[in-house]
A and B are shown apart, each in its own frame.
Chain A
């Protein structure tokens, strides 16, 4: 039997540490991915991920279930990312960890995928990473939440504290910039 997030939250508030651990195991990867795609640095994304769960643990007794647990967690992570960007006072730089991508990509390769396809896919991923760094923070965050986390427009609007139409506009503008930037690449 799989417990829902909300059930695990209730058990955690009741003092069951294992339930909170379960929530961490369930959400640490999505939260790390969100942080990495937003701030673009592996070490800092890892710190943000840890800090997110630490804050969530501290604030858990105050969580009343008015939003989904995942949305609440995303909000904490995004606030931390925003703090990081402000603190660093610079645009995020996407730096894929050296010598890791090849191995991980190879491990993630489909059995039918040739090495050439794999290299091409990795090159394309790097181009996308670079193009994403050109976007303003709001557009990038909207795209990350929609594309990689599958949130609805309304959920993104709630997370980003903006109207639903603003989310759509940010997505449109961001995708249009990406389209233009990606078209400049000869290999795309």
Chain B
């Protein structure tokens, strides 16, 4: 091994690092440039450390969803007040989803509170199951269908005209709602659809990329394993060939010996 000596007069390591990162004053750079021309050791070390730097560049940590602001998307660095949204997340939901959520909430709440909503001739009455009086007699009467029939009180008679008017009014209301709904929901729906499509597309791309990577890894592993197996087989064949050769050699020696012995008088 050749021992290459360096004749640099200054602090070699500090200058080497400064030169490597280009953070060096021009005079020192010129001096080290001149030194590099005649110093193979420094040239080699500089090249090797440059290689390490290139390898370091491959290490890029994965960026998780950062939640310092609860928003992972970097802003466009504009400084309009709208650049950073402070609206709660549910404000971004379409109107129909907000209504559905509200109804669901009411339904669940009513169920949880065991609400009993009752409307008859006496008017609308609401009471919770927990405030309902516990009356064994009532329970018994409810269990008997005949009692239920007897308990039904006649409600106020409704005329056919009133029913027709009600029907027409309901139809009108439904038409109005049907006509308004697409307009009210179009912008929200389109946005939701766009987001859903974007999410699905992104998910598909990621899945494809992941699949491709996994396939490549499997292929890589299989190739490595195959090469290892082939080299093993090669070694085994070599051993067999050697032992076979030795065996043949011994056999030949035996045959020669036998021939020599048989030819003796």
Check A175 against B49 for contact (C-beta < 8 Å): yes
Q: Which A84-115 residues sit within 8 Å CB-CB of chain B?
A: 96-97, 100-109, 115
Query: B171: CB under 8 A from chain A?
Result: no
Residue of B57, B77, B84, B213 near A147 (CB, 8 A) is B57
Number of A-B contacts (CB under 8 A): 142
Query: A74: CB under 8 A from chain B?
Result: no
Residue of B58, B63, B214 near A125 (CB, 8 A) is B58
Q: Which A11-44 residues sit within 8 Å CB-CB of chain B?
A: 18-19, 21-22, 24-26, 28-29, 32-33, 36-37, 42
Would you give the shortest CB distance from A148 to chain B, in whole angstroms?
8
- B interface: dominant SS: helix
CA distance A116 to B219 in the complex (A): 10
Query: Taking A46-B64, A152-B23, A168-B18 as contacts, is the C-beta distance between A147 and B216 under 8 angstroms?
Result: no
Check A125 against B60 for contact (C-beta < 8 Å): yes
Check A37 against B77 for contact (C-beta < 8 Å): no
Number of A interface residues in the complex (CB < 8 A) = 62
| Chain A residue contacts of B64, Cβ below 8 A | 32, 42, 46, 97, 100
Would you give the shortest CB distance from A106 to chain B, in whole angstroms?
3
Query: B79: CB under 8 A from chain A?
Result: yes
Check A169 against B58 for contact (C-beta < 8 Å): no
CA distance A103 to B209 in the complex (A): 7
Check A188 against B55 for contact (C-beta < 8 Å): yes
Interface size grouping (class) on chain B: 35 or more
Q: Which residue of A lies closest to B209 (CB)?
A: A106
Check B53 against A25 for contact (C-beta < 8 Å): no
Query: A9: CB under 8 A from chain B?
Result: no
| Chain B residue contacts of A73, Cβ below 8 A | none
| Chain A residue contacts of B17, Cβ below 8 A | 168, 171-172, 175
Query: B88: CB under 8 A from chain A?
Result: no
Check B52 against A178 for contact (C-beta < 8 Å): yes
CA distance A160 to B18 in the complex (A): 18
CA distance A172 to B19 in the complex (A): 11
Check B84 against A25 for contact (C-beta < 8 Å): yes
| Chain A residue contacts of B49, Cβ below 8 A | 175-176, 179
Would you give the shortest CB distance from A179 to chain B, in whole angstroms?
5
Q: Which residue of B lies closest to A103 (CB)?
A: B206
Q: Which of A116, A148, A175, A179 gathers the greatest number of chain B CB atoms within 10 Å? A: A175
| Chain B residue contacts of A36, Cβ below 8 A | 61
Check B220 against A116 for contact (C-beta < 8 Å): yes
| Chain A residue contacts of B229, Cβ below 8 A | none
Would you give the shortest CB distance from A34 to chain B, in whole angstroms?
10
Would you give the shortest CB distance from B18 to chain A, in whole angstroms?
6
| Chain A residue contacts of B16, Cβ below 8 A | 172
Query: A59: CB under 8 A from chain B?
Result: no
Known: A21-B84, A106-B206, A115-B215. 19 other contacts (CB 8 A): A22-B84, A24-B69, A26-B77, A32-B61, A33-B63, A46-B64, A96-B62, A102-B214, A119-B216, A128-B56, A146-B21, A148-B56, A165-B11, A165-B14, A172-B14, A178-B52, A178-B55, A179-B49, A182-B55
A-B contact list, 20 entries, CB within 8 Å = A1-B79, A18-B84, A19-B79, A22-B83, A25-B69, A25-B75, A25-B84, A50-B67, A105-B213, A107-B209, A115-B213, A119-B217, A124-B55, A128-B58, A128-B59, A143-B56, A153-B21, A153-B23, A175-B17, A175-B49
Question: Which 3 A-B residue pairings sit nearest by Cβ, starting from the closest?
Answer: A106-B209, A115-B216, A128-B59
